[in-house]
């Protein structure tokens, strides 16, 4: 195989891997993701997941059901396009009732960030986190449960 | 004087129509019923009512109660006893006569025909009774009788009283130029001291004349004599001229001009008295000392959109502070007042409707002083359909070595209909509890949705959903 052909092949494999990797994260989230409008100054979310922890800027043990024994649950969001310095919110709801609202900053050009809540026995039940911008525009909705 | 000027300055055009209309009705009652027994008894009842008010005002409680009872019974008695007379007033008169016409006196009878007929009857020794009604109705007093309603003629009168005629024993009733009834049976008089020369015909004629204003001409079969009976008097008529005079007097022909003038004066006086009476009644209702009162009036919600429902109101009635004449205020209740709350611009949720004087309907003569409170909180709602995502409600405990990484529901959304206020608070439809205890590997479950009785899952949505879940081993 020629050197040039090898370069092409590696490039294609890399692109496919990147696409598959992105689509996996999307599936792990919620199919309610909102399409981003054409405004160039709007951040573009790459993926959002619920997880048991964050290590080296990566989510650990992505899941949709969390035991209250773990004491903490994390919402991790990754924005692959951040045109300018801005803020987003993680709005936590337990059974449609607001439980927490966390303001998080985003820095260009790309940014990952997360929020977490402490778990208590009374938190058992269905939850959701809405990832929104400062105007309430919903980037993503994550649904999960806290159990025993 | 100032009060009088103030009163006239406050007089509205509706008040003038009000007084005029009722005065005219009272006047028409007088015109239609004058001269009848009903009118006389009605006048008596009005006097009784007047005395009752006097007795009440000076504190004669028992007298007042007794008169009140008599008056109430009297009103009933009028309707029962004089029903025929009342009916005849309305039945025999056309609408024009009832509304604005004046009853005319009976038309002048063709005296010559009657005179000739009476002479022929006496010549042929035929007995007869001829009744000429006055203003009063005879229906109550005359029994039997066959309606004839034929044109008056000497021959007809003769043939009616011919001995072989089956109705020759009864009386005939003559109105104008017509014989209205034949074979009529008249009530006999109760007078015991009548001379023996008078037979049954005279007793019957006197019986009717005593009780009514009718003139009765009696032709004696045996003595071939003629007598006129009017009131309680029997007047023998020896000459034809006497008969003419009696008939003319009864019909009022001689005094026609005078009586017409008298009638005009009588009607004018009646109209004036009616107007004054009604004006005084109206004045007593609308003037006098002002009184204050408060009434709780139910609120009438108007212009509500058919799809809107009232689910809550801050109050059901509004307190109105009113002022006006005491008599008027005492006679009104909440049912005579109307408070309208316009929901035309109402939206789903809480609405504040302000009530002002334009939303309140009051009877004339009543003044609105205050509305308490002047606003109402009304919660409106409507039924809507909303599509919502489905979320699984997990319970129990998943094995520590496992991790539930992905959940999918099919369908992921369901349509639910229900109260808009309720659905606005809901963002998710949850499933019934799904236990994690026995989950060891990925799989599927059918789970029912948890929807309370106020909501309905739309027919095209299923009450159950298919839950697919992916379980992985935890990285230890």
- If phi > 0 it is left, if psi is from -120 to 50 it is alpha, else beta; for residue B292 that is beta
Q: Which residues of A touch B387 (CB under 8 A)?
A: none
Q: Using one digit for the tens of pLDDT, what is the confidence trace for B258-268?
A: 666 777 888 88
Interchain CB contact of B434 with A (< 8 Å): no
* CA distances, A94 to each of A145, B387, B434, B455 (Å): 9, 20, 17, 21
Interchain CB contact of A109 with B (< 8 Å): no
Residues spanned by the domain of A110: 3-147
Would you list the DSSP string of B293-348? EEEEEEEEEES--TTEEEEEES-SEEEEEEEEEHHHHHH--GGG-EEEEE-TT--S
pLDDT value of residue A31: 36
Indicate yes or no: CB of B394 within 8 angstroms of CB of A145: yes
Interchain CB contact of A148 with B (< 8 Å): yes
Interchain CB contact of A134 with B (< 8 Å): no
- Dihedral sign computed on CA atoms, order B122, B125, B127, B128: negative
pLDDT value of residue A90: 96
Q: What is the mean pLDDT of residues A49-64?
A: 93
Instruction: Say how far apart CA B198 and CA A80 lie, in whole Å.
Output: 136
In chain B, what is the greatest distance between 2 CA atoms, to the nearest angstrom?
150
Beta bridge partners of residue B409, listed in sequence order = B467
Q: What is the mean pLDDT of residues A112-135?
A: 94
Report which secondary-structure segment, H or E, holds B130.
strand B128-132
Taking each helix axis from N to C terminus, what angle separates B37-57 and B61-81, rounded to the nearest 10 degrees? 160
Instruction: Say how far apart CA B395 and CA B406 lie, in whole Å.
Output: 16
Its pTM stands at 0.47
Confidence of residue A7 (pLDDT cuts 50, 70, 90): low
Q: Using one digit for the tens of pLDDT, what is the confidence trace for B207-220?
A: 998 888 889 999 98
pLDDT-wise least confident of A17-21, A63-67, B144-148: A17-21
pLDDT value of residue A8: 57
What's the token pair of residue B1?
A: 């004087």
Residue of A32, A65, A125 lying closest to B436 (CB–CB): A65
* CA distances, A88 to each of A56, B49, B276, B309, B427 (Å): 21, 88, 87, 40, 21
Low-confidence ranges of chain B (pLDDT < 50): 106-108
To the nearest whole Å, the CA of B393 is away from the closest chain A CA by 6
Confidence of residue A16 (pLDDT cuts 50, 70, 90): very low
Interchain CB contact of B112 with A (< 8 Å): no
What's the token pair of residue A24?
A: 């996996």
pLDDT value of residue B105: 52
Q: What share of chain A is helix, strand, coil (3-state, %, to 5)?
A: 20, 50, 25
Q: What is the mean pLDDT of chain B?
A: 84
By the 10 Å C-beta count (0-12 exposed, 13-18 middle, 19+ buried), B12 is classed as exposed
Q: What is the mean pLDDT of residues A43-51?
A: 94
Q: What is the mean pLDDT of residues A102-121?
A: 94
How many domains, in total, are found in chain A?
Answer: 1
CATH code of residue A26:
2.60.40.2550
B301 φ, ψ to 5°? Answer: -85, 125
pLDDT value of residue A22: 42
Q: Which residues of B touch A32 (CB under 8 A)?
A: 389
To the nearest whole Å, the CA of B463 is away from the closest chain A CA by 19
Residue of A nearest to B469 (CA): A64
Beta bridge partners of residue B382, listed in sequence order = B308
Indicate yes or no: CB of B403 within 8 angstroms of CB of A125: no
Q: Which residues of A touch B416 (CB under 8 A)?
A: none
pLDDT value of residue B254: 58
Indicate yes or no: CB of B436 within 8 angstroms of CB of A32: no
Instruction: Say how far apart CA B371 and CA B327 lie, in whole Å.
Output: 22
């Amino acid at each position: 195989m020629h050197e040039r052909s090898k370069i092409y092949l590696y490039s294609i494999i890399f692109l496919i891997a990147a696409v598959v990797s992105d689509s996996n994260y999307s599936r792990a989230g919620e199919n309610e993701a909102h399409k981003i409008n054409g405004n160039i100054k709007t951040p573009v979310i790459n993926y959002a997941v619920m997880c048991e922890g964050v290590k080296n800027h990566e989510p650990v043990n992505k899941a949709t059901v969390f035991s209250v024994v773990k004491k903490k649950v994390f919402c991790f969001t990754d924005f692959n396009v951040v045109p300018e310095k801005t803020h987003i919110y993680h709005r936590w709801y337990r059974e449609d009732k607001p439980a927490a609202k966390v303001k998080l900053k985003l820095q260009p050009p790309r940014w990952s960030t997360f929020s977490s809540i402490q778990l208590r026995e009374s938190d058992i039940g269905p939850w959701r986190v809405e990832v929104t911008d400062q105007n309430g525009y919903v980037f993503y909705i994550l649904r999960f449960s806290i159990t025993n | 004087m100032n009060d009088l000027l103030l009163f006239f300055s406050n007089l509205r055009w509706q008040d003038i129509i009000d007084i005029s209309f009722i005065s005219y009705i009272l006047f028409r009652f007088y015109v239609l019923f004058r001269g009848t027994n009903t009118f006389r008894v009605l006048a008596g009842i009005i006097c009784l009512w007047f005395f009752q008010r006097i007795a009440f005002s000076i504190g004669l409680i028992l007298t007042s109660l007794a008169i009140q009872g008599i008056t109430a019974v009297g009103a009933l008695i009028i309707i029962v006893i004089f029903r025929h007379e009342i009916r005849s007033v309305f039945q025999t008169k056309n609408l024009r006569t009832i509304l604005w016409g004046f009853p005319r006196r009976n038309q002048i009878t063709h005296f010559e025909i009657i005179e000739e007929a009476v002479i022929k009857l006496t010549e042929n020794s035929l007995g007869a009774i001829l009744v000429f009604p006055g203003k009063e109705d005879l229906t109550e007093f005359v029994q039997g009788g066959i309606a004839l309603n034929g044109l008056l003629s000497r021959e007809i009168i003769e043939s009616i009283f011919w001995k072989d005629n089956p109705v020759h024993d009864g009386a005939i009733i003559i109105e104008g130029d017509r014989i209205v009834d034949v074979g009529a049976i008249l009530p006999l008089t109760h007078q015991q001291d009548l001379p023996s020369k008078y037979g049954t015909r005279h007793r019957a004629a006197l019986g009717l004349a005593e009780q009514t204003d009718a003139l009765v001409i009696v032709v004696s079969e045996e003595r071939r004599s003629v007598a006129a009976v009017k009131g309680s008097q029997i007047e023998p008529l020896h000459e034809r001229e006497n008969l003419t005079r009696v008939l003319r007097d009864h019909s009022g022909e001689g005094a026609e001009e005078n009586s017409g003038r008298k009638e005009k004066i009588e009607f004018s006086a009646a109209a004036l008295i009616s107007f004054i009476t009604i004006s005084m009644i109206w004045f007593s209702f609308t003037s006098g000392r002002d009184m204050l009162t408060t009434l709780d009036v139910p609120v009438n919600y108007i212009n509500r959109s058919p799809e809107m429902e009232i689910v809550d109101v801050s109050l059901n009635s509004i307190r109105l502070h009113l002022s006006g004449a005491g008599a008027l205020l005492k006679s009104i209740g909440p049912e005579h007042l109307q408070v309208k709350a316009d929901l035309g611009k109402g939206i789903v949720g809480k609405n504040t409707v302000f009530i002002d004087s334009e939303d309140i309907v009051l009877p004339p003569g009543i003044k609105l002083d205050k509305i308490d409170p002047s606003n109402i909180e009304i919660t409106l709602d409507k039924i809507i359909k909303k599509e919502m995502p489905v979320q699984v409600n997990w319970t129990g405990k998943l094995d520590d070595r496992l991790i539930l990484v992905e959940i999918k529901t099919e369908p992921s959304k369901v349509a639910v209909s229900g109260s808009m206020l309720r659905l606005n608070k809901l963002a998710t439809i949850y499933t019934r509890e799904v236990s994690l205890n026995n989950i060891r590997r990925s799989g599927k479950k059918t789970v029912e949705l948890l929807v309370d009785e106020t909501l309905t899952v739309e027919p095209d949505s299923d009450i159950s959903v298919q839950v697919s879940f992916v379980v992985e081993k935890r990285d230890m």
